[in-house]
Amino acid sequence: MFFIGIILFIILYIFAFDKFLELNVKNLFFGFVAFGVVIPQTMYERRKQSVLNKRLSIEEELESKENELKSYFDSYKKSVVSFEYSNPKTINLLKHSISSGRADNIKEAINCMLDDYHKQQLLIKQDEIVENSKVAANAAKRTAVYSLGTFINTRKQ
């Protein structure tokens, strides 16, 4: 759209010798430029608002489902597992800990699961430390090479 406006402006400018027509062509050109800026901005704002509305509706639905689940869970107060650990995946982990013999009861199974989680977090942090040390070692090597080059260049002079 922008390029069409430029081409139209050039064609009309070449063939128009009348000052009045020349001013109108310039105004038309700047109109095309403004049109090329305003329309995309408006489209962006509408899309952004649409995404925000969709996100709000999803968050509201999630909150309502969570409240529904909590009310369902509250109806079974005598459950051995608290609400935080009532996720089906978590329950499977707890069941696996007990069936594999790592734990004898729910309390030990929860402790095993939390220990596994903390070990996983430590491994992630250790991997980050290893990566950072590799980056630092490479930076030190580059600095050493640069320093050696600087030393050799200054010795020649």
pLDDT in tens, 70-83: 777 666 666 666 66
Q: What is the pLDDT of residues 138-153, one digit of tens each?
A: 999 989 888 887 888 7
pLDDT of amino acid 130: 96
Give the DSSP letter string of 15-33: H---HHHHHHHHHHHHHHH
Check residues 51 and 11 and name the one with the higher pLDDT.
51
Tell me which residue of 138, 134, 140 sits closest to 148, measured CA to CA.
140
Mapped onto helix, strand or coil, the DSSP state of residue 111 is helix
Over residues 18-68, the pLDDT tens digits come to 555 555 656 666 666 666 666 777 788 888 899 999 989 888 988 888 888
| Residue 132 pLDDT | 95
Q: Which two tokens stand for residue 156?
A: 């020649």
The single residue listed with the structure tokens 């010798």 is: 17
